[in-house]
Amino acid sequence: MADNDPTRGIRLVQLKLGGLAATGRSYEVSFREADGDSWRPFSVIAGPSQTGKSSVIDFARYCLGDDEHPQHPEVLASVRSALLETVLGGTTTTIERAATGPSSKFASMWQAPLSGLQSVPELRLPIEPTSDPTGLSQHVLAACGLGNVELPIAPTQAESATNMLSIRDVFRVMCLPNERLDNKNLVFEHSNHMVRQKFQQTINVMFDVHDAVGSDIAGRLKLANDAVRDAERAAKALRAVVEEEHPLGPLVLETDLDNARREVAELAAQLAVLDNERFASQSGVTELRQALSAAQDAARGANVRVRNRESLVDRLGALRGQYADDKKKLTFLKEAEQLFDPLHVAVCPACLSALDTPPALVDGACTLCGHEVEAEDAGVAQGESAAAEGTTAGRTGSAVVLQAELKATTRRLDELNEYWTRLDNDLSVLRAARDEADRVVEVAAAALNRVADVPAPYLASRDDLARRHAAALLREQQTAAGLRLWERVQQADDNVDRLEGQARRLRAERREAGARPDRTAVIRQLSQRFGEVLSDFGYPKLSNPRLDGNLMPHVRGLPYSAASSGGLVLISLAWYLTLWEVAHEQDARRPGLLIIDSPQKSLGHSADPNDPDFADARLVENFYRHAKQWLAGPGSGAQLVVVDNSPPEVVSDDVVKRFTRSRTNPPYGLIDDAID
């Protein structure tokens, strides 16, 4: 049995559903005592159907690691996230999971109440796989003393693979939903074999009557055997490759490696001696090479400067020609203005004297020749005279603009000519510097050519030594690589031997582990409590209540499945209460929390008319009375949460939330603003 730990398990404190950001609403159900300081041992959620009572339980399971959140339209439209404040193993813990779209893959966890999340760091836990030791499932199970428990898939096989116990397996023993109250599948006897087996194994683990050592050894032994097979395959493949590339074996390779290293050292020493002898004669040549390099750099710089200057002079020459053409055009235009003026009479044609005023028509007669002009012609002549006067004024303004433009063009051309002349003069200096730099390069190259004669004997000797040295290095590297490969082969063989030794030791441990712990005493105790609970309920005509070796209940000498619908409900309630009570009293590895949905199903006013024995409403009251009395006595520290449409008056003080489904009497339901 596990060590005594009164804080073990899960206790619900408060559920908070965060609404959408647009509304800022939240929906809460509190499982706190009236003073708000601690969780309530007994809580009832009441109200008619379709008000969200079961969704409270579903959201609590979802926050603890279930794989689905409620999918009701009003929930999906209003809820963004679910937060559950719990006490896990004595530590106040808040868990949050997103509730929009598919189930979230991670949960956020704080070791603080809902009111203090900002003051503690957030911990992100994965949901899947449930076997992840860092995941939410194993974290919650650790609070129940059920963390990291391996369950054999085939318990009868000595080397069976294993599955990790998950919180979803524990939900089957801590939650009794409405549909399981009378479905004649209480111990999952009609379910999938693995579901039925894991259900039995979970209960065995809770009471420490499972073969913990054997299960652990079986899992480790399977892993060890798999590792041996993998190591043997890897060692065999590696040996085949190495034998093909280095068939002589490691002993010959070690000898070859020593010879290659010795040859490399000898050739390196000979090269060093040859290079030292040549180094003394190389100092003068090095200085000449440096001088040649500097002269070549200077010559390249001079060439660049000459090219840049020539390019600039060429571009400015083209610009000079353009400005000269512009000046010629402006000069020609000015002279044409002065020579050709057919519309303007400024000189007397007889004496060639300048006229003070231009000719005009005065009283029908020309002021220049005195000729009489008809009235119609006078109008035309008068207009032409006015036009001539206007043209004269316009030509005067145009001449001023033309003169200014000609002056500006002449000034820019003079400045450009002056700048071009300076550049052209500097170009000759740059060309001279370039020629001098080229001459210096030729002198330095000639000096180097005179002293840097080709030392043919030295180069030939050094080339031969370098070639032999490179070949020796290559042999050394290849031999060393071969030895490393053979070392890997030896390591692989040693690894196979080591893993085989581990597997042999695990097989010996498996044989010596002993028999599986006896379940008889636990089943006897559960069977006795089962009868006591049914008796407290007032089960009609109760006789011979017991649990068989598979924990299947029997009443009146018959399997429970032979009972009526009301009897099935009472038997299911008694079975779950029995497991919950005995586990708590024996300080077993348990969640300490029991959740029951609709305990009045097929009882009291809901009983089958053909089953009058279970129509007595006192059966429901007896259920509640028994639970409250046990919680107040041996069950101190455990927690029970019940969902009921219309709980009796005996538990009116234990109702933590009562939904009404009434517009005028809130709260309407869990989502209190989703009103039909």
Q: Which two tokens stand for residue 329?
A: 């055009």
The confidence band for 10, taking pLDDT boundaries of 50, 70 and 90, is: very high
Residue located via tokens 């023993």: 173
Coil, helix or strand for 279? helix
For 358-381, the pLDDT digits (tens) are: 787 777 788 778 788 776 655 555
Closest by CA to 586, choosing from 128, 197, 207, 147, is 207
Which pLDDT does position 504 carry in this prediction? 80
Q: Which of the residue ranges 141-150, 341-350, 467-476 has the most confident prediction, judged by mean pLDDT?
A: 141-150
Which pLDDT does position 454 carry in this prediction? 46
Contact assessment for residue 48 and residue 107, using Cβ atoms and an 8 Å cutoff:
no
For 125-158, the pLDDT digits (tens) are: 999 998 888 899 999 998 998 888 888 888 777 6
> Beta-carbon neighbour count of residue 128 at 10 Å?
14
Which residues share a beta bridge with 555? 558
- Quote the CA–CA distance of 625 and 648 in Å, as a whole number: 10
CA distances to 282, 441, 444 from 288, in Å:
10, 11, 7
Q: Which two tokens stand for residue 458?
A: 């030295």
Which pLDDT does position 98 carry in this prediction? 93
Which pLDDT does position 392 carry in this prediction? 52
pTM score, two decimals?
Answer: 0.59
The confidence band for 616, taking pLDDT boundaries of 50, 70 and 90, is: low
* Domains of the chain, residue spans: 10-211+517-604+613-658, 282-453
Which residues share a beta bridge with 126? 106
Closest by CA to 55, choosing from 31, 72, 80, 30, is 72
Coil, helix or strand for 455? coil
Q: Do the strands 26-30 and 42-46 form a parallel or antiparallel pair, or are they unpaired?
A: unpaired
Residue located via tokens 């002293």: 451
- Quote the CA–CA distance of 19 and 81 in Å, as a whole number: 7
Q: Write out the E strands in 438-559.
A: 546-547, 553-555, 558-559
List the single range of 129-143, 463-477, 651-665 with lowest mean pLDDT.
463-477
Which pLDDT does position 2 carry in this prediction? 43
- Quote the CA–CA distance of 62 and 56 in Å, as a whole number: 10
- Arithmetic mean of pLDDT over the chain: 83
Which pLDDT does position 651 carry in this prediction? 92
Q: Which two tokens stand for residue 408?
A: 């500006």
- Quote the CA–CA distance of 550 and 623 in Å, as a whole number: 25
- Quote the CA–CA distance of 561 and 576 in Å, as a whole number: 16
Is residue 397 pLDDT above 70, yes or no? no
Q: What values do phi and psi take at 594, rounded to 5?
A: -130, 130
Closest by CA to 11, choosing from 44, 45, 60, is 60
10-211+517-604+613-658 to CATH, choices 3.40.50.300, 1.10.238.10, 3.30.360.10, 1.10.357.140: 3.40.50.300
Coil, helix or strand for 556? coil
Is residue 273 pLDDT above 70, yes or no? yes
Between these two residues, 175 and 229, which has the higher pLDDT value?
Answer: 175
Between these two residues, 552 and 226, which has the higher pLDDT value?
Answer: 552
